[in-house]
Structure formats: C-alpha cells, structure tokens
Chain A
Amino acid sequence: MKRLNESGQMILIASFIIGIGIVVLTVMLNNIVYASNTASESSIETNVFDFSNVVQTTTEAYEKAYADSNNGYDNATFDAYMANYSEKMTESYSLSGFMFSLDSGALQDTYLSQNGLGNGNNDWAVIERVNYTDAFLLGRLNVSTLGNESNKFVIEANNQSGTTIWSASFFNSSGNINLNVCNSSSILNSKNDSFSEINITYNEIDGGFFDFDFSNQVAGETYSIKFINGSQAMGTFLMSGDLVNRDPFYIERVEVVNSTMKLNKNGHLEINVTIPITLPKGQI
C-alpha cells in the first residue's frame, strides 16, 4: 500500500518536466517566428543598374535619332524619334514599377571640353593608347569664342612616358586665329589668319596646304591625344584610327544635346540627372 502511495511522486515529476519542456519549446518557437518576420521586412532595391541602363540606352537612342535625321538637319525626324523612344521607355519601365521621363533639350554647338559644354572639363584625354590615326579633323572653329594667348586651346599628342611629341595651339589674335604647331622642342609651323576647317592628317587648312607634320612626329610611338583648355574653343572634331591593341576607334562630335532623365519608383526613390550627349558619336 505504501509503495502505491509513492508512485504519485513520479506523476508529479513527469508533469513538471513536461511543463518546463513546453515552456522551452514555446520560447524557442517564438524566437524563430519573430526572427523570420523581421528578416522579411528588408527591401533592397538595385536601382543603380536600372539607372546605368537608362543612361546607356538613351545615349544610343540619341545617336540613332541623329543618324536617322540626316545628322540633325531634319529636326522633325529627330524630335519624333526621341518622342517615340521616351514613350516606349515609359511603358517598358512602368512594368517594373518605375516612372521614366525624358526632357530632351535642343541641339546646340559644342565646345571642345569633355562633355561638349562651356562649363565642361577643360583638360581631358580624347583617346589613349593610339597606334595610328587615320583622320583628325577640326571644323567650325569659332574665333569669337576662342580664348586669348593666356587661355589658348591646345591639342597635345603625348607618348607613354608623358612627353609631348606633337602639339597645336590656337588662340584669338585680334580677330584672327593664331596657330602654332610644335614638336617636343621647337615650333614647326605657324599661321595667323581667319580660317575654320582644319585637316591635320591631310595637312590642310580650308582646303589649302599647311604642314602639320603630325604623322611623322607620332610615327612609331604609342600616344594619347589630349585637349587642353577645351572650354576656350567652340567647334567640331572627328578622329579615327587604330589603338595599340588593333581595335579601331571613331569619335565624331558635331553637336551636343543636354538631356534630363528622371526615374521615380513609387515616391520611394528618385533619380534626376542631366547628361550632355555629344553627337553623332561621342564614345568609342
């Protein structure tokens, strides 16, 4: 009889163990559920890829619109192409929750600064690691916007050690353009006249002969071409040739358009940038 009475202790102990077990399990489950919920609160948006795509796609659209509009002469075609592009981009980006808008500025004459605007980067490398230059032309040189002798616009060809092996400087001298062509040590040729079209590789100024001696001076060198004081000169340029790795390059700048792009996602994210796009082909 006594043994039977003591067996109740085991029931009590078992109950305590089960009770504590339930408490521990509840706490652990609570933590798991809580942690799972908190992790789901994060919202990571990879907006920079969309932005990068928009910039690249819009630049290419401008280049195609410019080519389709007979190099900007047919303004109606250019505007229609860009309006259609803007509409299509708005539609396609709306599917991923973005509102896209494009404000296309007017085509304007370019400065020889990095971005083609008067307030752009003055001193910049147009192309690097050049092996051979087929064509190098400057056009529509506007003497009224050309800097004076202290702010002269200079084209430099520098070899890989940074030495200037050829240069041409332009400055406004009493309404004329003063041009000096130099190698690493001395002046090779100079001219003080009114002119606007220059073909450096074909040694011509406004159709007449003028020895730039560019091809001889850079022969056998790997060089870069730099513009110094680019915002002190307004004009167009074309450059083509081969890089040292045998890849061809082609850069042509006739006009620039200041384009404002805006991306907005539900009011949580907004990107608004203005990028000048040089046409017909600003990049390699």
Chain B
Amino acid sequence: MIRQFKDDERAVSITVGFILTMAITVITMMVVISSFYSMMDRAEQTIMRDEFEIHGNDMALQISNIDTAVQITRSAGGEVGSFFFQLPLPDEIAGQQYSMELSNQTDEIIFESHGKDATRLKVPYKVHETEVASVKLFSGSDEFILYYNPASNMIEIY
C-alpha cells in the first residue's frame, strides 16, 4: 500500500504541469505585451514625424512666401510695412508636446519631442532676400506668428 503510494506520481505530474503551463503563459504574455507596447511606441513616433513633416513643409513654404514677397516689393522699389502669418500649430502632436527650432546655420526647421532622436525631423528652407532668425520654441503657446522685421531684414517667429 505504502509502496503503491510512493510510486504514484500523478499528483506531481499535475503540479509540475501546472507550474510549467503557468510559467510559459506568463512569459508569453510578457513578450506579447512588451511587443505590443513597443509597436505602439513606434507607431506614435512614426505619426509624430509624419505630422512634423506636414507642419515643417507648411512653415518652409510660408518662409519662402515671405521672402518672395519682400523680393517683389523691393524690386518695385517699395518697402514692406508688415507681413505676418499665423501658424496653425497644435499644442500637442500624438499626445506629446514638442519643440520647434529654426536654425539659420543649417537653414533647417528642426522638430523633436522630449529630446528623442526617433522623433526628430528636419525640414530645409530656402531664402534669398532675407535672413531667418534662429530660435527654439516649445508647443503650448496659443499661437505662433511668423513675421518679417523690416528693420533687421529678418523673418522671425514668436
């Protein structure tokens, strides 16, 4: 009877099987969840860069427009009194705040969110008649105004 009890491994088999199944399930769930979060994060950064590109191209076009208008006015011997354009930039992109930098060293508009390289996007701009003032701004302002300063012959943003 005792020998029969000692050789009976059916309960052990159930316990070991349960633990193994549990461990495999937990590990699988962890892998699946982390993959899911990683995928979501990548999707968010991709969308962020897409939208940065849209707004960057919009800004580059407006800078070019202002530069061309100044050129037209000057070639006609005139003076620009004021030229401003209100940029429709959102407070957040993909649920995240972001920064926007105008660099007249590299002639680029640089967007990034929380300093992450994966979100950084550079859009080049071109000016001939004017200069662009270097500045770094952060989202959250009610409105961004792109304007031409006749005194300094610079396109500035605030």
Contacting pair B81 A273 (CB below 8 A): yes
Nearest to A119 among chain B residues (CB) is B79
Contacting pair A38 B93 (CB below 8 A): yes
Give complex CA distance A35, B43 in Å.
Answer: 10
Tell me which of A39, A269, A271 has the highest count of chain B C-beta atoms within 10 A of its own C-beta: A271
Given known A27-B43, A38-B50, contact A51–B69 (CB-CB < 8 A): yes
Q: Which residues of B contact A269 (CB under 8 A)?
A: 84-86
Give complex CA distance A271, B50 in Å.
Answer: 30
Contacting pair B85 A268 (CB below 8 A): yes
Q: Which residues of B contact A271 (CB under 8 A)?
A: 69, 80, 82-83
Give complex CA distance A276, B64 in Å.
Answer: 24
Interface assignment of B73: CB less than 8 Å from any CB of chain A: yes
Indicate which residue in A27, A38, A115, A260 contacts B51 across the interface (CB closer than 8 Å). A38
Interface of A is mostly: mixed
Q: Which residues of B contact A45 (CB under 8 A)?
A: 62, 65, 85
Residues of A230-282 at the interface with B, using a CB-CB cut-off of 8 Å, are 260, 267-277
Nearest to B146 among chain A residues (CB) is A269
Give complex CA distance A115, B74 in Å.
Answer: 10
Interface of B is mostly: helix
Interface assignment of B47: CB less than 8 Å from any CB of chain A: yes
Nearest to A121 among chain B residues (CB) is B77
Interface assignment of A48: CB less than 8 Å from any CB of chain B: yes
Nearest to B143 among chain A residues (CB) is A268
Interface assignment of A43: CB less than 8 Å from any CB of chain B: yes
Indicate which residue in B76, B80, B88, B93 contacts A272 across the interface (CB closer than 8 Å). B80
Nearest to B65 among chain A residues (CB) is A48
Interface size on A, residues (CB 8 A): 37
Interface assignment of A114: CB less than 8 Å from any CB of chain B: yes
Q: Which residues of A contact B39 (CB under 8 A)?
A: 27
Contacting pair B58 A116 (CB below 8 A): no
Q: Which residues of A contact B72 (CB under 8 A)?
A: 48, 51-52, 55
Q: Which residues of B contact A42 (CB under 8 A)?
A: 54-55, 57-58, 88
A 113-126 to B, binary, CB cutoff 8 A, 1 in contact else 0: 01111001100000
Interface assignment of A41: CB less than 8 Å from any CB of chain B: yes
Residues of A37-91 at the interface with B, using a CB-CB cut-off of 8 Å, are 38-39, 41-48, 51-52, 55, 59
Q: Which residues of B contact A273 (CB under 8 A)?
A: 69, 73, 78-81, 83
Given known A31-B43, A47-B65, A48-B65, contact A274–B51 (CB-CB < 8 A): no
Contacting pair B77 A41 (CB below 8 A): no
Contacting pair A43 B76 (CB below 8 A): no
Q: Which residues of B contact A277 (CB under 8 A)?
A: 76
Q: Which residues of B contact A267 (CB under 8 A)?
A: 86
Q: Which residues of B contact A46 (CB under 8 A)?
A: 65
Closest CB-CB distance, A98 to chain B, in whole Å? Answer: 13
Q: Which residues of B contact A209 (CB under 8 A)?
A: none
Interface assignment of B68: CB less than 8 Å from any CB of chain A: yes
Closest CB-CB distance, A101 to chain B, in whole Å? Answer: 12
B 21-64 to A, binary, CB cutoff 8 A, 1 in contact else 0: 00000000000000010011001000100110011011001101
Q: Which residues of B contact A27 (CB under 8 A)?
A: 36, 39-40, 43
Interface assignment of B124: CB less than 8 Å from any CB of chain A: no
Given known A39-B54, A269-B84, contact A114–B77 (CB-CB < 8 A): yes
Give complex CA distance A272, B83 in Å.
Answer: 6
Nearest to B68 among chain A residues (CB) is A48
B 123-148 to A, binary, CB cutoff 8 A, 1 in contact else 0: 00000000000000000000000000
Nearest to B148 among chain A residues (CB) is A271
Residues of B85-112 at the interface with A, using a CB-CB cut-off of 8 Å, are 85-86, 88, 90, 93-94
Jot down 21 A-B pairs with beta carbons below 8 A, ordered by A.
Answer: A27-B43, A35-B50, A38-B51, A39-B51, A41-B88, A42-B58, A46-B65, A47-B65, A47-B85, A48-B68, A48-B69, A52-B72, A55-B72, A115-B76, A269-B86, A271-B69, A271-B82, A272-B81, A272-B82, A273-B81, A276-B76
Known contacts A27-B39, A48-B69, A273-B80; 9 additional CB pairs below 8 A are A38-B93, A44-B61, A48-B72, A55-B72, A114-B77, A268-B86, A269-B85, A271-B83, A275-B73
